[in-house]
Amino acid sequence: MRSELEVTIAIEKYADLIRRICMVKLKNHADTEDIFQNVFLKYALCNKIFESVDHEKAWFIRVTINACKDLLKSFFKSKTTSLAEIIEQSIEFSDDNREILEEVLALPEKYRDVVYLYYYEGYTACEIAAILKKNVNTIYTNLTRARKILRERLGDIDEE
Amino acid sequence: MKNEIRGAFEQVKANEQLKEKTLEFVTQKTHNYNKRKLNRHKHVITTFACLMLFLTLGSWVYLTPTMAIAVESKHDIELGVNRFDRVVSVKGNSEECIEFAESLDLKHMKCDAAIERIMQCQREEASGNESHFSYNIDCDQIKQKERIQQCIDDCIGEYGQDNNDENCNASNVDSDNGENCNASNVHSDNSGNCNETCGEKENRHHGNSGAA
C-alpha cells in the first residue's frame, strides 16, 4: 500500500488529467468525484511498480477510463444523463474554448477519448490503441471521423 | 485544430476542493484498511498464541514425569515416566550406565516395553551368568503406580516364561520402606516386613526361586 505522501503527490500530478478524462467521459461533477475517489484509492492500494512516468500516466488514463465505463454501465447513470449536463460543465470557460469543448464533448462517445488523447495528451494512434486496447485502424478511423465532424461544425478551425 | 483543442482542454483543471476531498477519502479508506489489516493480523496472532499455549501445555503435560522407576541391575537406570506411562527421561548413576541407557533408546517408549528391553539387554550382557533385576517405583498416584507395577510384573513374568530364564532374579523394592530392607531381591511391604523374597513372589514375578 502506498503512503499518504505518495497519494498526495499523485493527486497533484494527475488530478487535472483525470478531471479532463472525466469531462470527456462523464456527465456531471458528482460522478467526477466518484471517479477521483475510486482511481486514487486504487492507486493507494495497489503495489504496482511503474517503469516510468509515462507508464504511470498511461496507468492512470486506463484506470480512469475503465472507472468511467463502469460508472456508465450502471442502470441509473445510463438512464439519467443528457448532453446539457455535459455542456454545463464548460460554462466557466471563455467563449472560444467553450465552443470547442462543447463540440468535442458533443461528439459520439467513442470519438471523444480518442480526440482528447490524440490532440491534448499527444499520444500517437498506436499508443492510444494500446491504452484503449483497441485496434490501431479503429483509432485512425475514429480520429478521421471525429476530425471530419469537428471541421464541419467548427468550420474555420485550422486543420493540423 | 490541435492547438485549439489543446487550449480548450488546458483550461479544465481539478479544483482544490476536489483534490482535498479525494485525499480525505483515500486517507480515511486506507486508515480503515490498515485497521482491517491489523484485525486480520490479530486473528493470526491469537491463533498463533493459542497454538503456542497448547504446545507448551501439551509439552509440559507430556514431558513432566509423574513416576520414577529405579531399575537396579548390572546397570542402574532411573526412568522418568509420564502420566501416559511413557518414558520421558532416562538417567544413569555412572557414565557406563548412561551409555547403556542411551544405547537402549528408551525415550517415548511404553514403560513396560522399556523394562522389557532393559531386561533383554541385561540378559544378553549376562550371557548365561546369573542376572539380577530389581525395580523400585516412586509415584504419588496410586492408580498409576499399581498399573505400572502390574505391567512390569506381567512383563517380567512373560519374559521369564518366554526365555525359560533360570538365571534371572527379579523383585520389586518398595521405596517407602526400602531403607529398612536389603534392596536386592527383596520386597518389603508398608508394614516394614522385609521378609518377602523374590522366591516367595515367584508367582507374581518370575525367576529362579532358589536364587533368592
Contacts of B32 in chain A (CB under 8 A): none
Q: For residues A63 and A17, is the Cβ–Cβ distance under 8 A? A: no
* Percent of chain A at pLDDT exceeding 90: 28
Identify from A14, A16, A107 which residue to disrupt to test chain B contact, counting B C-beta atoms within 10 A and taking the largest count: A16
Q: For residues B156 and B193, is the Cβ–Cβ distance under 8 A? A: no
Is a pLDDT exceeding 80 seen at residue A157?
A: no
Give one DSSP letter per residue of B146-186, joined into a string. HHHHHHHHHHHHHHHHHHT-SSEEEEE--GGGGGGS-STTE
Q: Which of B3, B19, B29 sits opposite A41 (nearest CB)?
A: B29
pLDDT at B58 (0 to 100): 92
Query: How far, in whole angstroms, is CA A103 from its chain's centroid?
Result: 15
* Percent of chain B at pLDDT exceeding 90: 7
Q: Give the closest-approach CA distance of A130 to chain B in angstroms.
A: 21
Q: Give the closest-approach CA distance of B109 to chain A in angstroms.
A: 53
Task: Answer yes or no: do A101 and B12 touch at CB < 8 A.
Answer: yes
**B8 in contact with A, Cβ within 8 Å:** yes
Is a pLDDT exceeding 90 seen at residue B90?
A: no
pLDDT at B30 (0 to 100): 81
Q: Which residue has the higher pLDDT, B175 or A54?
A: A54
Task: Answer yes or no: do B12 and A159 touch at CB < 8 A.
Answer: no
- Least confident range from A8-22, A61-75, A113-127, B122-136: namely B122-136
Q: Which residue has the higher pLDDT, B92 or B37?
A: B92
Residues linked to residue B136 through DSSP beta bridges, in sequence order: B70
For the record, the C-alpha cell of B179 comes out as 531403607
Mean pLDDT over the full length of chain A: 82
Question: Looking at chain A, which residue has its C-alpha nearest residue B25?
Answer: A37
Contacts of A16 in chain B (CB under 8 A): 12-14
pLDDT, tens digit, for every residue of A83-129?
Answer: 555 555 555 566 667 788 888 888 888 888 899 899 888 899 999 99
Q: Which of residues 20-39 of A touch B (CB under 8 A)?
A: 20, 23, 32-33, 36-37
**B3 in contact with A, Cβ within 8 Å:** yes
Task: Answer yes or no: do A15 and B33 touch at CB < 8 A.
Answer: no
Task: Answer yes or no: do A37 and B5 touch at CB < 8 A.
Answer: no
Q: Give the side-chain half-sphere CA count within 13 A for B140.
A: 4
**A96 in contact with B, Cβ within 8 Å:** yes
Q: How many CB contacts within 8 angstroms connect chain A with chain B?
A: 102
Length of chain B: 212
Task: Answer yes or no: do A15 and B3 touch at CB < 8 A.
Answer: no
Of the candidates B8, B14, B7, B6, the one whose C-alpha atom is nearest the C-alpha of residue A10 is B14
Question: Looking at chain A, which residue has its C-alpha nearest residue B34?
Answer: A1
**A12 in contact with B, Cβ within 8 Å:** yes
What is the ipTM for the molecules in this complex? 0.80
**Report for B149-153, B170-174, B185-189: range of highest mean pLDDT:** B149-153
Q: Give the closest-approach CA distance of B38 to chain A in angstroms.
A: 14
pLDDT at B177 (0 to 100): 39
Q: Cβ neighbours of residue B144 under 8 Å, at least 6 residues apart?
A: B66, B67, B83, B85
